Amino acid sequence: MFRGKKYKESAKLVDRSILYDPADAFDLVCKASKAKFDETIELHVKLGVDSR
């Protein structure tokens, strides 16, 4: 599969063998950003809290 130059540069920054904590993951996403528009991040968290 063909990958672009920007994708390849961003992929070099990520080590897929380790689990990043949220702060480091956010910093990594910001460093890997190459888009020419405002990007957004969506986060879903299941807290397991009973709302009653």
Q: Each residue's pLDDT tens digit in the chain (52 positions)?
A: 899 998 898 889 889 999 999 899 889 988 888 888 888 889 899 999 988 8
What per-residue confidence (pLDDT) applies to 18?
93
Q: What is the pLDDT of residue 10?
A: 87
Q: How many residues does the chain have?
A: 52
Q: Looking at residue 4, what is its pLDDT?
A: 92
Torsion of CA 6, 3, 36, 18, to 10 degrees: -60
Sign (positive or negative) of CA dihedral 22, 23, 25, 26: positive
Q: How many domains does the chain have?
A: 1
For residues 5 and 24, is the Cβ–Cβ distance under 8 A? no
What was the pLDDT predicted at 1? 82
